[in-house]
Structure 1
Amino acid sequence: MWPHRILLGAAVLPLTLLMLRDAPVPLVLPVPAAPAHERPRGGVPQPVIVSRAAWHADEGMVRERAVYTGAVRAVFIHHTGESSDYDCADVPRMLRAVEEAHIEGNGWDDIGYNFLVDRCGTIYEGRAGGIGRAVRGAHTTGFNADSVGIAVLGNYGRGAQVPPVVVRALAKVAAWKLRPGSDPRGTVRLVSTNDASRYPKGKAAVLHVISGHRDAYQTNCPGEALYGELPAIRAAAAALRAARTGTADAEPPR
């Protein structure tokens, strides 16, 4: 979960963020950003994704190029934590604020999440380079390798309503990105790389293939309401893969 808060409806952001450089950019049509050679994973085609160029990411702010990892074995669901009462036309501005906070505030190389989803169900490219290949993000301490982090813009704590289009968008990304053979309803064994996670460095953890941030790190993210939708997200992702392949994927025996 991104620790800072973004206040919309005012020209001034919290002091932890730098001033935004320009006004909201109206979003007319999502812009697919996959390279022509991108192949669907598990038979599931890439969903429509708004590129970094379309939401005007500040590429000059990025500290290092993408680091590529192995095929995606796990998906971690997050929320960003600011108010969910926003106009989806404001999302590009929100994304630039998240990028600024992650890089300038947290000292990360780029925005931490691989993908983000707004309350209207639109999917956005997060960390650069992660559409055509598997890129290590900065979303889940100890488990950033061989995984994808997807954040929903907003706060989905207890009592919040998670729009069905959000559940569907998360399922689409998970079904597309997970490596062939992964069962979205199953579990996966991952080894922690950081003592700050729920699991000491070097310890193996058995997690859901589609997990919440809180499953691997001491946090309330992705909020009670969104966490409660994880079974629905898993089922929808499995259905998408089954529809394309004729059978639900299962983790190959080790």
Structure 2
Amino acid sequence: MGTTRRTLLTGITAAATAAALPLSAANAAVPKPRIYSCAEWGARPPSSAVTVVKNRPNKIIVHHTAFPNVTDFSLAYAFQNSRDIQDLHMDGNGWLDSGQHFTNSRGGYLTEGRHRSLEMLTGGTRMIQGAHCVGQNSQAIGIENDGSYHTGEPVPAAQWESLIAFCAYVCQQYRIPATEIYGHKDFNNTLCPGGIWDRLPELRAAVAARL
């Protein structure tokens, strides 16, 4: 059967409507991973209100914490690590909260970093301003991977798999191409994220495959 003008117009209207909806309202191809909220891991309240940026981020920036490479891969340790990072960022750096948006433990557990980052990610249309990369804090989602990977030690399999799954979900929610995944050293003079930076082509390819 030939395409009628009404059918064509209906299709265009439906496509335009779908494009206007946040991805959380669509049938998501990438499942949402388990992300533990600030309340779940016992975060301190921020010292002042976090800033909501009224646009989507355009990239992901991957970090490592440069903390010791622990062998405790438990959820309890992931929660303690999140508290340690927040204490360092607030008490040592003088920031209002954790600088990164999310943290990925060596055991592959994902936790919310800066307050309200999970809320914004779920909505898919706005982001929280971070403090993880100079010049990029209002346009990039920052993901801390616990550990020191500038020493040549490999990333644990659980952490790597979690990073792939999480980056794919972030890309889906915010409509970020998999090509827009970077390391901290791409923008600032730092060793971060160590050996993870060398694996960014692999990470981008794995994320693209899931999308």
> Normalization by structure 2: what TM-score?
0.78
Structure 2 Cα separation of the partners of residues 66 and 51 of structure 1: 15
Q: Deviations over 1:65-104 (max 9, x none)?
A: 2212221210000011111124133222222111011011
Kept in 2, the 8 Å contact 1:38–1:132? The answer is no
Matched residue, 1:147: 140
Asked if 1:92 is matched to 2:79, the reply is: yes
Paired letter, 1:72: P
Matches within 5 A, 1:164-183: 164-178=157-171, 181-183=175-177
Matched residue, 1:68: 52
CA RMSD of aligned residues (A): 2.1
Matched residue, 1:48: 34
Paired letter, 2:182: S
1:108–1:232 distance in 2 versus 1, CA, 3 Å: same
Measure how far apart 1:230 and its partner are: 1.1
SS of match in other structure, 1:53: helix
Structure 2 Cα separation of the partners of residues 40 and 124 of structure 1: 23
Asked if 1:230 is matched to 2:200, the reply is: yes
Structure 1 Cα separation of the partners of residues 84 and 50 of structure 2: 20
Asked if 1:120 is matched to 2:107, the reply is: yes
Structure 2 Cα separation of the partners of residues 56 and 180 of structure 1: 27
SS of match in other structure, 1:159: coil
**Aligned partner of 1:213 among 180, 184, 202:** 184
Larger relative contact order (C-alpha < 8 A, sep ≥ 6)? 2
Structure 2 Cα separation of the partners of residues 96 and 162 of structure 1: 22
Q: Deviations over 1:163-203 (max 9, x none)?
A: 23222222222222235553202xxxxxxxxxxxxxxxxxx
**Aligned partner of 2:91 among 96, 99, 104:** 104
> Normalization by structure 1: what TM-score?
0.65
Structure 1 Cα separation of the partners of residues 25 and 37 of structure 2: 18
SS of match in other structure, 1:75: strand
Asked if 1:184 is matched to 2:168, the reply is: no
Q: Deviations over 1:23-54 (max 9, x none)?
A: xxxxxxxxxxxxxx981787433211012122
1:54–1:230 distance in 2 versus 1, CA, 3 Å: same
1:227–1:68 distance in 2 versus 1, CA, 3 Å: same
Kept in 1, the 8 Å contact 2:149–2:193? The answer is yes
Matched residue, 2:209: 239
